[in-house]
Amino acid sequence: QTGPVIDMPVPASFNDITQDPSLENYIGWVWYEKEVLLPRRWLQDDLRVVLRFGSAHYYSIVWVNGVQVVEHEGGHLPFEADISSIVQGSPGIPCRITVALNNTLTPYTLPPGSIQYMNDRTRYPKNYFVQNIRFDFFNYAGIHRPVVLYTTPSVYIDDITVTTTSSERVAMVQYQVAVVGSTHYSLSLSLRDQEGKVVATGDGPVGELKVLNPNLWWPYLMHENPGYCYSLEVKMQAQVNGALLEDVYTLPVGIRTVHVTSSQFLINGRPFYFHGVNKHEDADIRGKGLDWPLLVKDFNLLRWLGANSFRTSHYPYAEEIMDLCDAYGIVVIDECPGVGIKMLESFGNKSLQHHLVVMEELIRRDKNRPSVVMWSVANEPASELPPAAYYFKTVIAHTKALDPSRPVTFVTDANYALDRGAPYVDVICVNSYFSWYHDPGHLEVIPLQLTTQFENWYKTYQKPIIQSEYGADSVPGLHSDPPLMFSEEYQKAMLREYHSVFDKKRTQYVIGELIWNFADFMTNQGTTRVLGNKKGIFTRQRQPKAAAFVLRERYWKIANESSCLPPVMKSNTLFL
């Protein structure tokens, strides 16, 4: 009825699916539609039917059978709608789900962007415009994560919040449970270990579980059994119109503590050194769409590499990725989509209020994850601008109010003396590309410039520092000796210059190093980008460059120096 349509897989970005160049770079509204037939048992009055989106980029409006059910702004976090009243009156009739999706970025979105109209009629067609962005990755669009229909009773568990404290022999698991639909209900809780044994029980919406001789959640390479999670089963029962309703939810719980001093990052009271990567949700054909084989491949590469951590640069990653981080003991700096905040108008109240909502959504989703040890509220903002002080003071205070249990940071590339947001963070995360964007080709300047960078930041703020980005582009198979830019040899040489400084400073106050990037990824076209950003230590197809072996040797050496693992875990082998 609306004209030509094409099949579109979900989850996936729509950009690379066809041979149509106009879809590759499309900006504006697209429409998705699908019909499903619901089971008849779902149409009972005592059930809620919920439509949930893992994420859709960027602005979504959703209808069911022509009735609008939800709007959502933001491309990286879940949203849902109760559609019970629409579908329960129509048994046997297909449920038609329609989604209008717009990927336009403005100064007030997160990430921000701007639309520029080209009005010179001698050079551009009428109504010609481009989407300008201030971040270096492709603005893929589409329904990127799973869309599911699920049911709950009309009285249901809406939210669970868990925090943990521990000593050598005793751990306490504090919980809060929110129930919606009735004020008359009972709650029972059981905490089970990985063998299924019940180790603690409780009841009521607020309480504390005591665990004797707990198995703590440890990062990968910090313990012989990393990523240990208990299972917290929460059971709700309520009487409604004479019927017993029951809702059960099982939540993985990792018992661990996080603490930051002026020079250390402590997990379970032990110093933790981040030796990891920055990543992107990015791959051939599917763009940012969730892809399980690629996901598992990436985690096998992370463990082969000896990486114990990554930052979700520059947006929240899929829940399936976070699940594996919890299970494997991969530590996460969880970053919101606050990338490219460069324009003055992006620091106004409209942007600020949306940023606060995004942090609420992110923390609600990831607050119970043991792998998440720190929130990052932005990447490389124009934090030297005067409004940045109030902006980041407000965002960070709001984040800490929502979750007092974790430190908060943002990632900066500003001058240490001019950064107006740095006073409010718990950990300094700094990006620098000496001998690449600065003094390109001059590897010899790295030791002095990097040392000066660290000393200036620490002297000013007396906070631990993570080198949150560093790296160089390398074209696979391009070789040069002596090393020249874009060769694999230059990428290796740059890494080694940085590493020599890291080794001196990690005994003092540098608490981590995250290479940019784990793998090559797509960007907008430009004269400095040959089919994307080539700073990966792996290609986009996940094949190692020479730098991957340099990093692997380093990370396993650091792990062996600092861990208390038995010898079998200290070999450079992959454990599946």
Mean pLDDT for 460-472 is: 98
Q: Is the predicted pLDDT of residue 260 greater than 70, yes or no?
A: yes
| 442 domain-assigned | no
Mean pLDDT for 217-233 is: 97
pLDDT score, position 172: 97
What six digits make up the tokens of 468? 């949150």
What six digits make up the tokens of 405? 């249990």
Domain end residue (candidates: 226, 253, 280): 253
Same domain, 190 and 119: no
3-state helix, strand, coil split of the chain in percent (to 5) is 25, 30, 45
Same domain, 148 and 17: yes
| 205 domain-assigned | yes
**Residue 504 neighbours by CB distance under 10 Å:** 13
Same domain, 121 and 238: no
| 189 domain-assigned | yes
Same domain, 177 and 234: yes
- Could you list the beta-strand ranges (E) of 54-134: 59-64, 67-73, 79-82, 95-102, 113-117, 129-133
Same domain, 148 and 158: no
Same domain, 67 and 16: yes
pLDDT score, position 565: 53
| 452 domain-assigned | no
Q: Is the predicted pLDDT of residue 568 greater than 90, yes or no?
A: no
Q: Is the predicted pLDDT of residue 569 greater than 60, yes or no?
A: no
Same domain, 59 and 19: yes
Query: What domain range is 182 assigned to?
Result: 154-253
Measured CA to CA, the distance from residue 505 to residue 458 in angstroms comes to 11
What six digits make up the tokens of 492? 């290796």
Q: Is 380 a catalytic residue?
A: yes
Same domain, 145 and 225: no
Nearest to 428 by CA among 388, 391, 455: 455
Q: Exposure pattern of 469-493 as b/e (b: 16+ CB <10 Å)?
A: bbbbbbbbebeeeebebebbbbbbb
Residue 398: in which H helix or E strand, if any?
helix 388-402
Here the CATH number for the domain that contains residue 59 is: 2.60.120.260
Identify any residues that bridge with 121 across adjacent strands, giving them in sequence order.
Answer: none
Least confident among 87-91, 133-137, 238-242: 87-91
Same domain, 180 and 89: no
Same domain, 77 and 104: yes
Same domain, 26 and 100: yes
Same domain, 180 and 137: no
Nearest to 516 by CA among 421, 448, 437: 437
Identify any residues that bridge with 515 across adjacent strands, giving them in sequence order.
Answer: 277
| 37 domain-assigned | yes
Counted domains in the chain = 2
Domain end residue (candidates: 152, 179, 198): 152
Mean pLDDT for 388-398 is: 98
Q: Is the predicted pLDDT of residue 563 greater than 70, yes or no?
A: no
Q: Which residue has the tokens 């114990």?
A: 308
Measured CA to CA, the distance from residue 308 to residue 552 in angstroms comes to 12
pLDDT score, position 551: 98
Mean pLDDT for 389-414 is: 98
| Average pLDDT along the chain | 95
pLDDT digits (tens, 9 = 90+) for 89-104: 777 789 999 999 999 9
List the catalytic residue out of 281, 380, 469, 488.
380
Q: How confident is the model at residue 4 (pLDDT cuts 50, 70, 90)?
A: confident
